[in-house]
A and B are shown apart, each in its own frame.
Chain A
Amino acid sequence: MNDLLDMVSWICLLAGSFFAISGGIGILRFPDFFTRMHATGVTDTLSAGLILVGLMFQAGWSAPLLKLVLILAFLLLTSPTATHAIAKAALHGKQVPVLNPAGELSSKS
């Protein structure tokens, strides 16, 4: 049982690390502010949730489990809010998404 919990926890930690690294590569490589925001805003919440759930499996039924649940709930509330606030501020700051060669918005192609 203990080995099973360890295995699940390691799978969660490794998956969270993979998504975190993909988000980091995305914020460095994507051409536009909005695509960068998409890359980080999606993977940020997912990697934080996976890593914290993996730590929860290691914590067991103890006081750190409650703190991990608090951190996870707070991150799940604030991370999409922060991304939304940045996107709204960027739109008010006259940022325009990159167009494709046909002249339409990239999201519609």
Chain B
Amino acid sequence: MFIAAAVSILVVMALALVRALAGPTLYDRVLAVNLFGTKTVLLISVLGFLTGRPDFLDIALVYALINFISLIAVLRFFDFKPFRSITSTQIILKEHPPDE
């Protein structure tokens, strides 16, 4: 029964990877990567019980912490401004107009 849960979690991770690669916007990719990270925590827990080594739960706990912190960091990086709204070339052109 652990094998069925592990296989279904792996299927969900594959579907989330497809959306992360094909997502039209940045936020689709972030959402898919977040889903992938949560499912990774569950997969590590299930694998720990499947192989009879519950020490894997420590790794799952640390992975859950890292997943949440990295998601908030990525969203802070992209928050409150549209992605690729101002490129560095536009900033340079704004500070040094070409007709001067």
The residues of A with any CB-CB pair to B shorter than 8 Å are 9-10, 13-14, 16-18, 20-21, 23-25, 27-28, 33, 36-37, 40, 44, 47-48, 51-52, 54-55, 58-59, 62-64, 67-68, 70-71, 74-75, 78-79, 81-83, 85-86, 88-90, 92-95
The interface size bin for chain B is 35 or more
A contact residues around B1 at 8 Å (CB)? 9-10, 13-14
SS class of chain A's interface: helix, strand, loop or mixed? helix
18 more A-B contacts (CB under 8 A) besides A24-B12, A74-B64, A93-B78? A13-B1, A13-B4, A16-B42, A24-B15, A27-B35, A28-B15, A48-B38, A55-B49, A59-B49, A59-B54, A64-B57, A67-B54, A71-B57, A83-B34, A85-B71, A86-B71, A92-B79, A95-B27
B contact residues around A9 at 8 Å (CB)? 1
Q: Are A93 and B83 in contact (CB under 8 A)?
A: yes
Known contacts: A21-B12, A55-B46, A75-B38. The answer to whether A37 contacts B31 by CB under 8 A is: yes
Q: Are A13 and B19 in contact (CB under 8 A)?
A: no
